[in-house]
Amino acid sequence: MSNQTAIVTGANSGMGLATTIELARQGYRVIMACRSEKRGQEALQEAVRQSGSSAIELMLCDLGSLESIRQFARTFRERHDRLDVLVNNAGVVMVKRKETSDGFEQSIGINHLGHFLLTLLLIEPLKAAKQGRVVNVSSGAYKAGKIHFEDPHLHKGYNPIKSYAQSKLANVLFTRALASKLSGTSVTVNCLHPGAVGTSIGVDRNTGFGTRIMAFAGKLPFFLSPEEGARTAVYLATSPEVVGLTGRYFYQQKEQQLKAHAVDDASAERFWTWSEEQVGLRDDEKL
């Protein structure tokens, strides 16, 4: 396993850090994709300490910046020919509507569009692996989600639940569409609901607003620990039980049936085309 390489986004805290530690324990070389140099370095030291592995590396990547994502992918491809596992874990919930540096509403911009571009820029290294795996951290919130094609960036009638649920449905639609487009290759794509996890997802990424609230929530008995929340992501990244399975949705390491609106292929294809346009995907980058 020591020659297998994994990338985990949002790896500096919560489930991302827990996933990093467990993959490193299992012998993977793990690249922690983090937005903040300071928080990333602190998390790197913690990951090395807890895993006992020195094969962990920090690379900066701001999923709210298309330029940063492109730079990350370029640097990764210069250093590595192969990518065995990509865990698209990073996520935000925004109490108030805010935009990324590219003018995207932050939840759809970071939770979906950032990971959409990152994944497509890493398809060749994933194909070069014996069995490349893409693991998308979605949420049961997808059930309440709708793609608001008339206003996907929610300029009107914004609320956090509407925004987050749309972005989590986006993760599922992306998973199924990408799995279909990669049919016949060695790359699999699956998504998961981690459960109710007490993490920093509800914390404003710029101001830190919500830190104390989420710290309190994480101590409530019905919240899972980040380690518990990461189990299904690690399972999809590593288990021989899911070799060859693709386009599926999991909870507690078991496949779950998706609701009808999440298996609408026409909607998924329309959303894929919109996503390509939003991130400015070049013809030679399209699948």
Just list the catalytic residues: 164
Question: Can you point out the beta strands (E) in 178-281?
Answer: 188-193, 249-251, 254-256
Distance CA 156, CA 232 (A): 35
Residue 148, SS3?
A: coil
Residues 6+ apart with CB under 8 A from 116: 174, 275, 279
Give the span between the Cα atoms of 149 and 157, in whole angstroms: 14
Q: Where are the alpha helices (DSSP H) in 80-158?
A: 106, 115-121, 123-128
| 3-state percent helix, strand, coil for the chain, nearest multiple of 5 | 45, 15, 40
- At 212, is the secondary structure helix, strand, or coil? helix
Report CA-CA distances (Å) from 121 to 74, 95, 114, 155, 222.
8, 30, 11, 29, 38
CB 262 within 8 A of CB 172: yes
